């Protein structure tokens, strides 16, 4: 695949930001990872480096490729360092005002032709774009967790997204080896739009005693070709995250299928969030999520 090397900034070095920065650096783009929080930034950079080290151990990257990828990554806590970015991917907390403010600040720093991507899961791309003086350059690019391993990126234009930005985004995602799927600026895009009611209906089936969690987790993949059952998946996603996403979608759609069933609130209250706390629907000895 031949493509030009770009300078890409990733704003927010959390779970998604560090994963997205990994994707950018691995594809050969000069990657600037920014976070306001010094400790958060350090964790993010360590996560990216750790991923590349693991890839070498697994034989997926040569030592040379890994050190080139690491060299392509720079961490910073100063927004001014993002000046030369051609693409900015925003992955800060899921907060509309914060995301708008960041794009507004970036307007003053980067060139007018830079693309702004937002990784929001549940907010409106149009709303976030309104934070920029040039809403035409803002595109929703929703990566999946873990970003380095998942090929899918959902692409959603806001009401004012320009054609050039849409086309450049798809081309850029192609250069990353991602599959960009075009959808609309609607709550949940495609995957969460269908996953949330699906998981909720499985939880309701469990609450109604239609089967045990083990039975449902066996029957569903064995009949439908899913890689795992709904409760195993919820334990990976985290009940708190499921609750947040479901509630946010419900607030926008007012469709009861999106509202988290009572069991979700109970599990969150009990601290049974899934693998990350050692217990969700199932018990886990090991709270690590992904090897690399």
d(CA 152, CA 143): 7
- DSSP assignment of 40-58, as one string? HHHHHHHHHHHHHHHHHHT
d(CA 252, CA 187): 7
Does position 227 bind another protein by CB under 8 A? Answer: yes
Within a 10 A sphere around the Cβ of 219, how many other Cβ atoms? 13
d(CA 192, CA 246): 9
Angle between helix axes 239-253 and 191-207 (nearest 10 degrees) is: 110
Minimum CB separation of residue 201 from ligand NAD in Å reads 20
Q: Between residues 120 and 124, which has the closer beta carbon with respect to ligand NAD?
A: 120
**Span 96-135, contacts to ligand NAD by CB under 6 A:** 98, 102, 119-121
Does position 168 bind another protein by CB under 8 A? Answer: no
Minimum CB separation of residue 237 from ligand NAD in Å reads 7
Cβ atoms of 156 and 128 within 8 Å: the answer is: no
Q: Could you say which of another protein, ligand NAD, none residue 224 binds, taking C-beta under 5 to 8 angstroms by partner kind?
A: another protein
Minimum CB separation of residue 114 from another protein in Å reads 26
C-alpha distances out from residue 283 to 36, 80, 271, 274, Å: 35, 46, 12, 8
Does position 80 bind ligand NAD by CB under 6 A? Answer: no
Q: Between residues 228 and 270, which has the closer beta carbon with respect to another protein?
A: 228
**Span 17-56, contacts to ligand NAD by CB under 6 A:** 17, 34-37, 40
Residues of this chain that interact with another protein (CB under 8 A) are: 144, 150-152, 154, 179, 181-184, 186, 189-191, 193-195, 197-198, 201-202, 205, 210-211, 215-216, 218-228, 257
List interacting residues with ligand NAD (CB under 6 A): 11-17, 34-37, 40, 91-94, 98, 102, 119-121, 142-143, 145
């Amino acid at each position: 695949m031949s493509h030009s090397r770009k300078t890409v900034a990733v704003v927010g070095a959390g779970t998604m930001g560090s994963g997205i920065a990994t994707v950018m650096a691995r594809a050969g783009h000069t990657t600037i990872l920014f976070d306001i929080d010094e400790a958060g930034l350090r964790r993010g950079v360590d996560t990216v480096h750790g991923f590349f080290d693991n890839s070498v151990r697994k034989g997926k990257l040569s030592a040379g490729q890994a050190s080139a990828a690491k060299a392509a990554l720079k961490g910073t806590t100063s927004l001014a360092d993002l000046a030369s970015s051609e693409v900015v991917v925003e992955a800060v907390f899921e907060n509309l005002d914060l995301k708008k403010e960041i794009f507004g600040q970036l307007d003053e720093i980067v060139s007018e032709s830079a693309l702004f991507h937002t990784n929001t899961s549940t907010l409106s791309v149009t709303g976030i774009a309104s934070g920029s003086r040039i809403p035409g350059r803002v595109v929703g690019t929703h990566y999946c967790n873990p970003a380095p391993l998942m090929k899918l990126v959902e692409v959603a234009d806001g009401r004012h997204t320009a054609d050039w930005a849409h086309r450049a985004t798809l081309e850029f995602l192609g250069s990353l080896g991602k599959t960009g799927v075009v959808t609309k600026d609607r709550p949940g895009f495609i995957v969460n739009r269908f996953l949330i009611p699906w998981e909720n209906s499985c939880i309701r089936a469990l609450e109604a005693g239609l089967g045990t969690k083990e039975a449902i987790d066996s029957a569903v993949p064995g009949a439908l070709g899913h890689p795992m059952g709904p409760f195993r998946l919820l334990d990976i996603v985290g009940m708190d995250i499921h609750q947040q996403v479901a509630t946010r979608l419900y607030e926008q759609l007012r469709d009861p299928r999106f509202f988290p069933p009572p069991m979700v609130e109970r599990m969150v209250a009990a601290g049974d969030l899934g693998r990350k706390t050692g217990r969700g629907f199932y018990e886990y000895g090991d709270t690590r999520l992904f090897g690399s």
